[in-house]
Chains A and B, each alone.
Chain A
Amino acid sequence: MKKTVCILIVLILGLSIYHLNDNQYTLELPKHFPEPIIPADNLLTKSKVELGRLLFFDKNLSINQSTSCATCHDPKKAFTDGRAKAKGALQTLHPRSSMSLANIAYAHSLNWADPLTDTLERQLLVPLFGEEPIEMGMNDQEEQIIEYLTSNKQYAKLFRKSFADKTINIENLTKALASFQRTLISGGSAYDKFLLGNDQAMSESALRGMNLFFNEKFECFHCHGGFNFSDSSQHTNEVMPAKVFHNTGLYNLDVEGKYPEENQGVFSLTQNPNDMGHFKAPTLRNISLTAPYMHDGSINSLSEVLDHYANGGRAIVSGPYTGDGSKNPLKNKFIKGFDLSVEERTDLLEFLKSLTDEQFVNNPDYQSPN
């Protein structure tokens, strides 16, 4: 009798462990990437990630079933939408451009200019429930969301499997969506292949461009450096990272550094005058796929981006935004302007192109389930 009980216990334990392991999600990172910080109360599991993926592509999470997360964050465009300014479910224009979600697990802060929002779980409340502007338009619709998810057998099953409390609620919804987003790792570009030992991965021009990118004449790496080409990235080896934002001299409406009302950067949040026009330096990975550029999409091409930095800021000569950004007193001190030869321009652009990760944008794990 004892022996039978013993065997039964071992079998049951074994099956449970197998079951637990069966749902374990191992985040596959490129060899040269550090570990992202994953919150202890939202560890990755297969079912959670799958649930998040289904939700990410589900247009029923918008007020008129027209818009999913993927509408503004299209995998083919490295999770952006090709627009200068994003457009919500009710066709309202957002003041700013959709940001790429590539390597978003490493972001020290989310959104363009928000030092407070530092987890994906809290960030997605903005597009889901926000009213200024309306994005998915679900403000005051929590009950309707839960009703919809509960009535869908596939969702109900995945919620039960993914969460200890087996509950369909908004908290678990945010955890699932955050988990899917954390799996969006992009580290397979030509540049990465070169770093990992493939000498043929980058062209001569791209290699020259790389050296220019990282030198003290162009200073690109100061804000767009590190493994993720962004100083707003953090990882498990970085303790207490400072949250950084920069003014790049895009506007100067009143000579004292003013930016347009709807896009004043960190100042909009803190009301600290020194924060006027300060925005995040996002990743340059896949940058060839994510035009137009800057927080408001006001620069169309990468070549024009180079012009902006070569000039040390943007001079606008007519219209409502007239002003010389290169004289913005709050501009980052590394943006001094530089001479840019034809060859240097070509090489820098080739280097930026080499940051495109075709595997990432075509990965079936990141595409719509349909």
Chain B
Amino acid sequence: MLTACSKSNEIASFEDKVYEIPFQLFYQGKPLDCNNHQILDFRFYIYNLDLGQSTESSSQKNKIHLLDFINSNECKHQLMLEVSHLSNRSELNFTLGVPSTLNHRNPVKAEYPLNLSAMHWQWLSGYKFLRLEFGNNDQINRFHLGSWGCSGRLPDDVVCNAPNRIPISISDFNIETSFVAVHLDVLLDVETESLCMGNPNDKNCMNWLKALKNEVFKLGLVE
């Protein structure tokens, strides 16, 4: 009977407790120094944040987070995302972007964080999933990622042939000791002035997209 008790404790779900998942910016292996960098803007949306939540937490899962690290007013090298209803699974999943069910709705009617003109692509009637701008007066590089190749009817009947949403999966994630490291190196490594908007026919753009998928979001361990 004692054995049975301890077994059930091991697979208990951590209901109702609120956890914080840290997201930290890294450059060249070190946390980004907010006083010494050339980034003008770095923010992105994620949703479907999932660490094996219980089924009761679907509203938590559907929540859209805007990770606003750097904008014209401020710079933060770390952001904390509050999540609850976790189980002890060890794979952290999330999708970078805005879900298709919300992507083409009118931003002026939306609630934060979907009501920001800076994160909307007015001319393509959808959101900028990610906004990265860096450089100086001579050369500013801009990476505004969004869905491309869209047709249909606003607001809810639109299909895009290059949705450009990026599912990210981080294994061995321990809620007590891990964080998400956001490595900026590959994103900042461009030679010529660039503007990428998610056009699948643009080679520079596709390199950036590939880097986002594979080289940016990594497991970080608290030392």
Q: Give the interface of A toward B (CB within 8 A).
A: 111, 114-119, 121-122, 125-126, 128-132, 138-142, 169-171, 174, 269-272
Contact = CB atoms under 8 A, between A and B. Distances in A.
B109 interface: yes
15 contacts: A114-B125, A116-B153, A118-B153, A119-B154, A122-B125, A125-B122, A129-B122, A130-B122, A130-B123, A141-B117, A142-B116, A169-B108, A171-B109, A269-B124, A270-B151
A122 B154 contact: yes
Nearest to B148: A271
A121 B106 contact: yes
A271 B149 contact: yes
B151 A269 contact: yes
Given A271-B161, A272-B151, A171 B123 contact: no
A138 B117 CA distance: 9
Q: Which 10 A-B pairs have the closest CB atoms?
A: A271-B149, A129-B117, A140-B118, A171-B108, A126-B122, A125-B122, A270-B151, A170-B108, A130-B122, A116-B125
A131 B200 CA distance: 20
A198 to B, nearest CB: 41
Interface size class of B (residues with CB under 8 A): 20 to 34
B123 A126 contact: yes
Interface-central residue, B71, B153, B158, B195, by most chain A CB under 10 Å: B153
Interface-central residue, A117, A129, A141, by most chain B CB under 10 Å: A129
Question: Does more than half of chain B's interface fall in helix, strand or loop, or is it mixed?
Answer: mixed
A129 B120 contact: yes
A269 B123 CA distance: 9
B120 A125 contact: yes
Contacts of A271: 148-149, 161-162, 200-201
Interface string B145-182: 00011111110001001100000000000000000000
Contacts of B150: 116, 269-270
Interface in B85-119: 104, 106-109, 116-118
B28 interface: no
Interface in B118-152: 118, 120, 122-125, 144, 148-152
Nearest to A118: B154
B72 interface: yes
Interface of B: 71-72, 104, 106-109, 116-118, 120, 122-125, 144, 148-154, 158, 161-162, 195, 197, 200-201
A34 B25 CA distance: 58
Nearest to B154: A116
Contacts of A126: 122-123
Given A125-B107, A125-B108, A139-B117, A116 B152 contact: yes
A131 B161 CA distance: 23
Contacts of B107: 125
A98 B154 CA distance: 23
B166 to A, nearest CB: 19
Interface-central residue, B149, B162, B200, by most chain A CB under 10 Å: B149
Contact of A116 (B151, B161, B200): B151
A171 B110 CA distance: 10
B152 A125 contact: no
Nearest to B149: A271
Given A126-B123, A129-B117, 6 more contacts: A114-B125, A129-B120, A138-B117, A142-B116, A170-B108, A270-B149
Contacts of A117: 125, 154
Contacts of A140: 71-72, 116-118
Contacts of A141: 117
Given A116-B104, A174-B108, A139 B118 contact: yes
Contacts of A131: 144
A171 B117 CA distance: 12
B74 to A, nearest CB: 13
Nearest to A271: B149
A126 B108 CA distance: 12
Contacts of A122: 106, 125, 154
